[in-house]
Amino acid sequence: MLSRLRDIWTMLRVAGYGNTVGLWRHSKTLASSVRNHAVLDVLIALEKCGLLAQLGTQHGVTPAALAGFDAVQLKAALEYLTEVEILEQLGRGHFRVRKLREFPRLRSAVYAAMAYNRPIRQLHRLIRGDDRYGAEISRDDQYDAMASEDITSRFYYGFATRTLLGTNGASVLDLGCGTGAFPAYLARHTDLTELIGVDVSERAIAEGRRRGHESGPVRLLVGDAMALESTAAKLKSTPEIVSMMFVLHEFDDEGVERILGSIHRAFPLARILLTEMILRETEEALARNNTALPELRYVHQLSGQVVRSRDQWVHLFDRSSYRLDRRDEHQLSNTQCLVFSG
């Protein structure tokens, strides 16, 4: 503290009050506008090198003990993250995350940044119309699934499970399961006898298996939501419930109808549990339409996601010969669980 005061006094004496204040303000601006980007970029690089998970353990990372890396570059990156208080240095050349209990949230933030890293980097091409989102440029679905897993597990798994248990279904197929975290949650918290997770992303399914989500009654499969007949052929029995959690808002009306048609052809007797953000249309509820984070709302718009009202969902399902049997509303968000039967 004394040395810091001495530095400030020296700056005031040499540069004068005006220049010192100007430099301080400039430094604050740089720290607030540049640091977050730099920190995320360094963390993304460490994730791509396979080191982020190690940094989140008690043992951490010792650059000198690692082969296959440029020791100077790695040490510089870790020292920078230590200086900005993301990491801590436990001993000579030994680094780990400073707040281990908060590491899952840090990891989720990195995954979210990685999910939309390419679209954001190429945003100028999207704005100019040189490329189209979903064609030439798209997000990383594996990292998107991994990032959203933390939020959905905290706020919506229990909510959806209560609705699911109210259906008295004994077997569930979770369509668009990502890494299979929801089926794994159901295996831990219910007595359901058969839990199938299906996702189009081979990388997400592989990550789920690596995390141990495929165990007990849980089976993870790679499959296309619009061509579920091939998935049905791999199953010993037909699921009684097909669950879709924050999946269908990724599709326009035609895409939703194709998925519902695929479900009906593959599993004609199955009921559908839809967990989705619901557009509220009454004036007193308009304030709850907006997401909590402007960034989240922006990436929804960037990727062309569609938030529908309950009536719009009911109308879409009705066109595919499904009727609404039950509706449960999450009291803290604009999310509802809708149960449909064919």
- The confidence score (pLDDT) of residue 153 equals 80
Rounded Cα distance between 62 and 89, Å, is: 10
Cα 112 from Cα 107, distance rounded (Å): 9
Q: Which pLDDT tens digit goes with each residue over 284-334?
A: 444 545 544 567 667 777 888 888 889 999 999 999 999 999 999 887 777
Q: For residue 155, which of 338, 330, 337, 339 has the smallest C-alpha distance?
A: 330
Whether the full predicted model's pTM is greater than 0.75, yes or no, is no
Parts of the chain with a pLDDT under 70: 1-34, 280-294, 296-297
Contact by Cβ (8 Å): 219, 195 = yes
pLDDT digits (tens, 9 = 90+) for 31-76: 556 677 889 899 999 999 999 999 999 999 999 888 899 989 999 9
Q: What pLDDT sits at residue 284?
A: 46
Please name the residues in contact with 335: beta carbons below 8 A apart, sequence gap of 6 or more.
156, 159, 275, 276, 277, 278, 329
DSSP calls for 169-233? -SEEEEET-TTTHHHHHHHHHS--SEEEEEES-HHHHHHHHHTT-S-TTEEEEE--TT-THHHHT
Mind listing the domains of the chain with CATH numbers? 2-98 (1.10.10), 143-341 (3.40.50.150)
What 3-state DSSP class applies to 88?
A: strand
- If we measure between CA atoms, which residue out of 192, 195, 171, 193 comes closest to residue 181? 195
Question: Rounded distance, CA 153 to CA 156, Å?
Answer: 6
